[in-house]
Amino acid sequence: MGMVQRISMASRTEVLYAIDERSDVFRRAPPVAYLCGMYPTVSLTFILREIEALRAHGVEVPPCSIRRTPPSQHPGPLERAHAAETFNTLPELARPGRVKWLAGTTT
């Protein structure tokens, strides 16, 4: 990866990456998805911190989980916020039309 450039906007800092070492063309950092068996859980706070750190640098990070976690695993407001936004794959697989929509296909 080439040089890194940070630009500050009114509400956040965005990280841009050079295409290569000799380029003066910069791109936004691509989204990074985190997929866990169960997320968020009390034992995965390091992943929650990683996601928050990447987001602080302007990287889009959608958390994904195979299974939905019970509310007992969300002791604080940050865990509850992550639970609300986490895409849970098993519940969505029960809705085939929704899975096709997420994949960008309608047939």
**Successive 10-residue mean pLDDT values, the chain, 107 residues:** 48 58 68 90 92 87 92 94 92 68 53
Domain co-membership, 14 together with 42:
no
Residue 90's alpha-carbon distances to 15, 66, 87, 94, 99, in angstroms, are 33, 6, 9, 7, 10
Whole-model pTM over 0.85: no
Domain co-membership, 40 together with 90:
yes
Q: Of 62, 105, 67, 69, nearest to 85 (Cα)?
A: 62
Instruction: Provide the pLDDT for residue 8.
Output: 46
- Print the domain residue range for 2: 1-30
Instruction: Provide the pLDDT for residue 26.
Output: 64
Domain co-membership, 45 together with 55:
yes
Domain co-membership, 91 together with 49:
yes
Domain co-membership, 3 together with 37:
no
Instruction: Provide the pLDDT for residue 57.
Output: 78
Domain co-membership, 58 together with 87:
yes
CA torsion sign for 6, 52, 46, 69 is negative
Is the CB of residue 19 less than 8 Å from the CB of residue 61?
A: no
Instruction: Provide the pLDDT for residue 49.
Output: 93
Task: Report CA dihedral (74, 40, 102, 54) to the nearest 10 degrees.
Answer: 110
Structural domain total, the chain: 2
